Chains A and B, each alone.
Chain A
Amino acid sequence: MAGLRARRARRQAAFRWTVLAVMGVFFLLPLAAMVEFTTRGDSGTWSLLVDWPQLSETYPDLADGIVASLSQASLTALLMLVLLVPTAIWVRLRLPGLRPLVEFICLLPLTIPAIVLVVGLAPVYAWVNYFLGGSSLTLTFAYTILVLPYAYRAIDAGLSAIDVKTLAEAARGLGANWFTVMARVVLPNIRSAVLSAAFLTVALVLGEFTIASLLNRTNLQVAINFLGKSSATMSVAVSLAALILAFVLLLLLSLFGDRRKASR
């Protein structure tokens, strides 16, 4: 048989590979350029980057920025989990009428750009400085707000996928209190959604620049930007490393998420 369907499938494959090739070149070119840029001559950029003691000595601001970002990412993920997960579950189970309000608030940061938020955060952070000092770690508070939309969407999707109400009623019927219901019945079932929210949080915090820079604190992106004025090669190298790290993170997330779904 002629295989009209087979012909159409082949045409689609040709189209697909053409598009991917063209787009691939466009998107990989800057990455390739970064590799080329950082390996020009004998700069020894990469060997310096992986040598932490040397790096902290040569570029103390960069080292500070990296450490700050990693701490901020962990703290934000933690604060987000502690704040959002119990609230999301609690509202689902006990206050379903409040859900639209919580959802609206969590999606509000999408409508309020970071550059606008930082304008309003300045006076609030004056108080934060007063109570907790001016360390970069206090950015965690602002970052938790920034990640709300993405984390909430991930957790909400996870809660929607399981029948929370029935699970809770079954557990309550067996005599569990609310804490047990949340911690030992619901939470284990939304593990992949919670993990997803944590990954997204980390990726977002590592890429944040606006608030840190305008509140005069340091983080990875601020350090890179500042470094760019003095050492172009090192700043490009760190940028590339950060991009690859984030890519690996999100790829792991998608693989992990798929495996959980497959095991159900």
Chain B
Amino acid sequence: MATVTDDPDLLAPVPRVRAPRRGLSVRSIRSLLGTVPFFAYVTIFLIIPTLVVAIGAFAGDGGFTLDNVTALGQSYVLDAFGRSIALSAVTAVIGAVLGAVLAYALTTARPGGVLRRVVTAASGVLAQFGGVTLAFAFLATIGLSGFVTVFLRDHLGVDIYAGGVWLFEFPGLALVYTYFQIPLMVIVFLPALDGIRPQWREATESLGGTTWQYWTRVAGPLLAPSFLGSTLLLFANAFSAYATAAALVSQGNPIVPLQIRSALTSEVILGQQNLGKAMALGMVVVVAVVMALYALLQKRTARWLG
């Protein structure tokens, strides 16, 4: 058979190329190096603090101990956890329901319109901006010399603090928390509402369904996972909140974050520091469980409404 070419270079035997080794090649090591700054930074400022809390919760004078964790069983700690959970649950449910209604009202407006944009931006601010400013806003509104307090007293003869100053206790906290829970719900739930396709409503109608049947058999079930997940997110948000309570509550430490504050700042009682870490660990456990459930529900939502 005649050869196709006479070129000696092409006719020379081809050197065997070594197949790339499995595992770390020079290239992949170089690639990994590029992420070192990020991982180093995160280790120092995120992983290590987390470990400090996790390990510190079990640390005592003589090394590993469960004393701090069992100390969590003391009544005042359990009360704080109970109140934190109650506060978070109540404001999560109220925030979820009212926020869902507001979000639904927004979806009936023009998608790119001014109304939606303004309300969404406002929600972004109120949801994230910070408990101190909100606390002061409420002091100016229904504080002892607040606008509404004075108005009700002077014009309607109603003294809202006749039974005690509730603003700095549970009811007050609940009210202020709701103020940032509702906007958070709008932000978190709106995408799911946007994912409801008009074709589903139209299909329901053409198959003979009424509005009620549409909401109970189609939109309701479709939105349920997102609604539930958003409620959980609101719960975690309220549970973790510190600034609002710190600014409003001056007497006592009714909720866990404030308990941690006192544990951190107390230099008098030895071992309080580690109790604080145990409480912090307890908080992380609660929030982690809630967030894990939230993530699961989000997956379902993304599949249906994404």
Contact = CB atoms under 8 A, between A and B. Distances in A.
B50 interface: yes
B121 A145 contact: no
A144 B45 contact: yes
Contact of B121 (A83, A87, A210, A251): A251
Most buried by A among B37, B112, B134, B246: B246
A33 B140 contact: yes
A106 to B, nearest CB: 8
A110 B242 contact: no
Interface in A218-264: 221-222, 224-225, 228, 232, 235-236, 239-240, 242-243, 246-247, 250-251, 253-255, 258
22 contacts: A13-B108, A16-B106, A37-B146, A83-B41, A87-B37, A87-B38, A110-B291, A112-B46, A113-B284, A117-B46, A124-B45, A145-B42, A203-B129, A214-B264, A225-B132, A235-B136, A239-B137, A242-B133, A243-B125, A250-B124, A251-B117, A255-B117
A214 B117 CA distance: 36
Interface string A9-48: 0001101100110010001011111101110000000000
B10 to A, nearest CB: 26
Interface string A106-123: 001111111111111111
Interface of A: 12-13, 15-16, 19-20, 23, 27, 29-34, 36-38, 83-84, 86-87, 90-91, 94-95, 98, 102, 105, 108-124, 141-142, 144-145, 148, 203-204, 206-210, 213-214, 221-222, 224-225, 228, 232, 235-236, 239-240, 242-243, 246-247, 250-251, 253-255, 258
Contacts of B280: 115-116, 119-120
B269 to A, nearest CB: 16
B264 A122 contact: yes
Contacts of B52: 119-120, 122-124
A120 B53 contact: yes
Contacts of A91: 35
Interface of B: 31-32, 34-35, 37-38, 41-42, 44-46, 48-53, 56, 98, 101-102, 105-106, 108-109, 112, 115, 117-122, 124-126, 128-134, 136-141, 145-148, 179, 182, 236, 239-240, 242-243, 246-247, 257, 260-261, 264-265, 276-277, 280-281, 283-284, 287-288, 291
A49 B124 CA distance: 25
Given A27-B126, A112-B50, A239-B132, A19 B101 contact: yes
A242 B132 CA distance: 11
A225 B139 contact: no
Contact of A115 (B37, B42, B109, B257): B257
A247 B179 contact: no
Nearest to B295: A107
B137 A207 contact: no
A168 to B, nearest CB: 13
Given A27-B122, A224-B136, A207 B128 contact: yes
Nearest to B291: A111
Contacts of A144: 41, 45
Contacts of B147: 32-33, 36-37
Given A29-B141, A102-B38, A213-B246, A254 B136 contact: no
B108 A120 contact: no
A13 B105 CA distance: 9
A229 B160 CA distance: 23
A136 to B, nearest CB: 16
A113 B46 contact: no
A116 B137 contact: no
A33 B134 CA distance: 12
B139 A142 contact: no
Given A120-B49, A124-B48, A115 B125 contact: no
A30 B149 CA distance: 12
Given A95-B31, A214-B261, A116 B284 contact: yes
A221 B132 contact: yes
A115 B260 contact: yes
